[in-house]
Amino acid sequence: MPSSNTIQLKGVNKVFGEGENRVVAVDDLTLEIAQGEMVTLLGPSGCGKTTTLRMVAGFETPSSGDIYIGGSAVNQVAPNKRDTAMVFQSYGLFPHMTVFENVAYGLKIRKVPRKEMRNRVLEVLELTGLKGLDRRAPQQLSGGQQQRVALSRAIVVQPKVLLFDEPLSNLDAKLRVEMRGELRKLQQRLSITSLYVTHDQEEAMSISDRLCVMHQGKAQHIGNPTEVYARPANRFVADFIGQANFLEGTVERTNGQRVQLRVLNALLDAPLHRGSLAIGDRVEVLVRPEGVDLTDRGRGDMDGVIQFAQYTGARATYEVKLEGGNRLTVESANPQERGLRSQGEVVGVLLHRKSLHVLPKEG
């Protein structure tokens, strides 16, 4: 596979409607996807992620800005001439064709000789675990199998780029987790440049090289999963990815890399990953539920009361009310060893300094 199968979006905008009905679906999006990379557009519904994907596929035309596939501009290229292959949310299988015919469709259009076509289709079906099902009608397959047919149909044409439009959203929870692993392995094995769209942050985290978190048409944060999770660019990203607690604080001291904050009555030292802060600035501190330890009263950074406790075996989740009324969700792994806390108990709350993330207060 040539090494130049990249996707580039440069200042892409998409506006629907005019006048009062004008909606900016995608707002000045710039994004580059390297050869073999899997990038996921992640965001709530209506954030512009699907519109972006459809612009890459050619089903929508950017209002302005340019899209490049493999280095050449495709704005004026019809969708059927772009050499992208898409896996649709509802699979889009041809109901009047067998599995074989579905997968062979793209090869037929590319005028691949009969014999080679047959070999390639059967090879792909084997790769996706559909061996022996080639004569079935799509309706005779389970949801997971239909999904695999859609995937087979896309990869068999060896496209420059693969596009995924929430491909797993129609599967049940267990299958979804299983399929995403398979999908990622296959993508890595074939090293196909891929753009993936989902609103499921766990799915996005687990399969992507990089994420592009979108909100109201804008890219909020582009980065690899660990970075987006641990050091989100803003409050929206922090809140959207994983569970987030926010504590308000004031900057007491700063040296550019670390800050000392006053949060409630505690003084906290935290790393500063983004921007610069001055003494006296109001900040929000992101505290992930697993970045908190519960200890005995008076031995933590602050005290709190357990308002609600949920035990699920591998972990326990607590809702802790802090002094001053703030609430904190705390997740404690391995509760058997650490001991379960009970409702009403007064506890000390210890925040892991390393996992704190400081954001300037918005608004």
Partner 1 sequence: MTVAARPSRFALGRRFLKDPVLWIAVALIFLLVGLFVGFPVYKLLERSLFVNGQFSLQTYADLFQKSYYLRPFFNSLHVGVVTALIGTLVAFVFAYALNRTNVPFKGLFRSVALLPIISPPFLLALAAIFLFGNQGYFTKLLGIDFQIWGFNGLVLTETLSYFPIAFIILEGVLRGIDPALEEAAFNLGGSRLRVFLTVTLPLAVPGLASALLLVFVESLADFGNPMVIGGRYTVLSSEAYFAIQSFNIPRGIALAIMLLVPPLVAFLLQHYWVSRRSRVTVTGKPSSSNLKQVPRVLRVSLTFIVFFLSGIILLFYGMVIFGSLAQAWPFDNTLTLNNYYQALNRAGEHFKDTLLIAGIATPISGILGMIVAFLVVRKRFAAKNLLEFSTMLTFALPGTVVGIGYILAFNRQPLLLTGTALIIGLAFVFRNMPVGVRAGVASLQQIDKSIEEASTNLGAGTTRTFTCITLPMILPAMFAGMAYSFVKCMTAISAVIFLVSGKWQLVTVEILGQIDNGNYSMAAALSTLVILICLGVLAVMWLFVGRSAMERIVGGN
Where along the sequence are the contacts to partner 1 (CB under 8 A)? 13, 15, 24, 27-28, 57, 59, 63-64, 76-81, 83-86, 88-96, 105-106, 109-110, 137-139, 146, 150, 153, 157, 163, 165
Burial class (CB in 10 A: 0-12, 13-18, 19+), 27: middle
Of 112 and 251, CB closest to partner 1: 112
- Joined together, the tokens standing for residue 107 give 């090869």
Q: How would you classify residue 185: left for phi > 0, otherwise alpha for psi between -120 and 50, otherwise beta?
A: alpha
Of 80 and 342, CB closest to partner 1: 80
Q: How far is the CB of 233 from partner 1 (least distance, A)?
A: 18
Q: How far is the CB of 71 from partner 1 (least distance, A)?
A: 20
Of 85 and 222, CB closest to partner 1: 85
Sheet with 282-287, edge to edge strand ranges: 266-271, 258-263, 245-254, 282-287, 357-360
Kindly calculate the radius of gyration of the chain based on its CA atoms and give it in whole angstroms.
25
Cα distance between residue 34 and residue 27, in whole Å: 22
Q: How far is the CB of 287 from partner 1 (least distance, A)?
A: 33
Q: How far is the CB of 298 from partner 1 (least distance, A)?
A: 52
Cβ(280)–Cβ(320) under 8 Å? no
Of 109 and 340, CB closest to partner 1: 109
Cα distance between residue 354 and residue 363, in whole Å: 26
| SS3 state at 263 | strand
Comparing C-alpha atoms, which of 67, 302, 310 is closest to residue 195? 67
* Cα-Cα end-to-end distance for the chain: 48
- Joined together, the tokens standing for residue 116 give 């080679």
Of 85 and 272, CB closest to partner 1: 85
Q: How far is the CB of 199 from partner 1 (least distance, A)?
A: 17
Of 165 and 303, CB closest to partner 1: 165
Of 89 and 250, CB closest to partner 1: 89
Q: How far is the CB of 76 from partner 1 (least distance, A)?
A: 6
Task: Compute how many other C-beta atoms are within 10 angstroms of the C-beta atom of residue 127.
Answer: 17
Q: How far is the CB of 28 from partner 1 (least distance, A)?
A: 5
Q: How far is the CB of 220 from partner 1 (least distance, A)?
A: 15
Of 150 and 347, CB closest to partner 1: 150
Comparing C-alpha atoms, which of 88, 103, 170, 183 is closest to residue 136? 103
Helices (H), 274-345: 335-338
